[in-house]
């Protein structure tokens, strides 16, 4: 087993919708090539049922995930830190790649409202995988 090409941490406020969908897509599309984490600055009690349902429509099961608290250790252990509406809650460490994805919050929304957010996340994840693969091919392991 080779080491993952990169480690990615997805962060949103409740770690119940956007970050869980992003983690689900990255795990599904990149497999074990990328280490995936997600966390929230104020984690909710459960993953948003509409997010679970929207992902299930694409054959991705995130129903077993639980919201987790954001820790400094999780940020330090990640190459990419991708925030989704948590603002300045994330600690900053030099040498990490920070991305802020502007996504609507699916909290309290039905599955109809969550689908476009899910689809936008999928596109962002596909771009992220391409970037990680490009860096790995060029030998840039920084």
Residues annotated as catalytic are 12, 86, 90
State the DSSP H helix or E strand holding residue 10, giving kind and residue range, or none if neither: strand 6-12
Residue 86 CA to residue 84 CA, distance in Å, equals 6
Structure tokens, 44: 């909710």
Residue 36 CA to residue 113 CA, distance in Å, equals 25
Residue 33 CA to residue 61 CA, distance in Å, equals 19
Question: What phi, psi does 83 have (nearest 5°)?
Answer: -100, 150
Largest CA distance in the chain: 43
């Amino acid at each position: 087993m080779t080491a993952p090409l990169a480690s990615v941490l997805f962060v949103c406020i409740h770690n119940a919708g956007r970050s869980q969908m992003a983690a689900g897509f990255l795990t599904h599309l990149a497999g074990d090539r990328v280490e995936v984490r997600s966390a929230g600055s104020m984690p909710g009690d459960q993953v948003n049922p509409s997010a679970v349902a929207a992902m299930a429509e694409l054959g991705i099961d995130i129903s077993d995930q639980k919201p987790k608290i954001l820790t400094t250790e999780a940020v330090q252990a990640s190459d990419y830190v991708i925030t989704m509406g948590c603002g300045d809650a994330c600690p900053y460490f030099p040498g990490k790649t920070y991305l802020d994805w502007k996504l609507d919050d699916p909290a309290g929304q039905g599955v109809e409202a969550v689908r476009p957010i899910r689809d936008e996340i999928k596109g962002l994840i596909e771009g992220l995988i391409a970037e990680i693969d490009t860096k790995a091919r060029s030998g840039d392991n920084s």
